Amino acid sequence: MNLYKENSKIITERTKINIEIILDLEDNPIKDIYLRLFHFCYDNLKINSPKFSVEPTYFFYYNKENYINAGATLDDGNYIIMISKDLIKNLHESIYSNNSIFKNVRLIKYVELSNLVKIDFNELLLQSSILFTYYHEFAHLVQKNDGNFSFFENTENLFIPESHILEYDADLNGSQFVCFHILNYYETLSIENQNYENLKNLLSVGLSGILITFLLFYYREFNENKRVDEFYLDEKSHPHSIIRISYIITHYQNIALENGIKIEIVEFLKEAFLISDIFFKSNSYISNCLKIYEENIEQIDNYIISLCDEAGKRNDLMMQNHIKYNF
């Protein structure tokens, strides 16, 4: 707790950020959740910021009610990652409401696997969402480390082609660390339990964490009356959520293949959508997402190819610099 307070004080002294917008954790009911994430981010930034020449870098929780967002910015020479307090609060409340998502009869097969890897899958879902968000924002720091900038994750109507490329690159960075995180759990399984079905289910939990995060950023909140955004390509500040989840699945598939494991994309996608469907307590929203994917798969594939081609022409993206992580 002392480290968190000290970090908050340094941020206010060195930047234009006021103490009022930094979350005070003193009497927060889920203080332990916030602190656990803070210490992870703090330690990770100490290790990785020097490698990518983004120093000094700070992390804080944005203290604003009914605000779900995350961002990366440069303030007076200080690199900042912020995650809104309500993203953590909303995720925690939704995941742990009614005791457990994974007690739902449609997900009963996950209970045994959860026992085998010795982690509550509600916790794994939360970890996956937060890991993705953090590494996504860190990629934005690396992309624009030579000038003033601000990135935020709520989708806006303004379309700038470069923004889709930057989001694509940041998404791949975030998703690869979720995949590595899941594979670490998979490797704890005994040899007889290391099989395709268990791997698919573990990776589906990780992918669901990412998908849930996308939808929370898109809509700030979620209820059963929300409708899926009409499919688009060259519009808005971020690619359509279906496009994003599609290229992330492909990235997942490639990482798994590099580890000698082949996964079937459609089967994998349906499993992740099932978990997300239960999270949002909706009988139609996620199925409509899947319908959009199936109806536009050729356009989606072509758009992803164009994003990849354009990203490959640059040298300032995380995909060209990720070797600095020294895995």
pLDDT at 223: 47
138 touches 81 (CB < 8 A): yes
Structure confidence at residue 227 (pLDDT): 62
Does residue 242 fall inside a structural domain? Answer: yes
Q: Report percent pLDDT > 90 for the chain.
A: 46
The reported pLDDT for the residue numbered 222 is: 47
pLDDT of residue 145 exceeding 60, the answer is: no
What does the longest C-alpha to C-alpha distance in the chain come to?
Answer: 55
75 in any annotated domain: no
Task: Give residue 224's pLDDT band: very low, low, confident or very high (50, 70, 90).
Answer: very low
More confident residue, 188 or 93: 188
Query: How much is the average pLDDT of 267-282?
Result: 78
In a domain, 15, yes or no: no
219 vs 42: which has the higher pLDDT: 42
Tokens 């490959």 correspond to what residue?
A: 312
Helix (H, G, I), strand (E, B) or coil at 240: coil
- Give the list of residues 6+ apart from residue 56 with CB closer than 8 angstroms, or none: 14, 49, 78, 79
Burial 66-104 (b: 16+ CB within 10 A, else e): eebbbbbbbeeebbbbbbbbbbbbbbbebbbeeebbbee
Q: Is the pLDDT of residue 99 over 60?
A: no
Average pLDDT over residues 185-208: 90
Residue 121 belongs to what domain range?
87-325
Return d(Cα 326, Cα 301) in angstroms, integer. Answer: 31
| Residue 215 buriedness (CB in 10 A; 0-12 / 13-18 / 19+) | buried
52 within domain boundaries? no
0.85 cut: is pTM over it? yes
Question: Domain for residue 176, yes or no?
Answer: yes
Query: Any idea which of 66-75, 183-192, 227-236, 318-327 has the lowest mean pLDDT?
Result: 318-327
Q: Which of 37-41, 69-73, 266-270 has the lowest mean pLDDT?
A: 266-270
User: What integer best gives the mean pLDDT of the chain?
Assistant: 86
Tens digit of each residue's pLDDT (9 = 90 or more) over 18-59: 999 999 999 999 999 999 999 999 999 999 999 999 999 999
Q: What is the pLDDT of residue 154?
A: 62
Is 250 inside any structural domain? yes
Task: Work out how many domains the chain is built from and give that number.
Answer: 1
Question: In the predicted model, is pLDDT for residue 94 greater than 90?
Answer: no
Q: 117-126, 254-263, 316-325: lowest mean pLDDT where?
A: 254-263
77 within a domain of the structure (yes/no):
no
Token pair in block for residue 320: 């060209």
Q: Tens digit of pLDDT for each residue in 294-308?
A: 899 999 999 999 999
How far is 186 from 209, CA to CA, in rounded Å? 17
Q: Would residue 123 count as lying in a domain?
A: yes
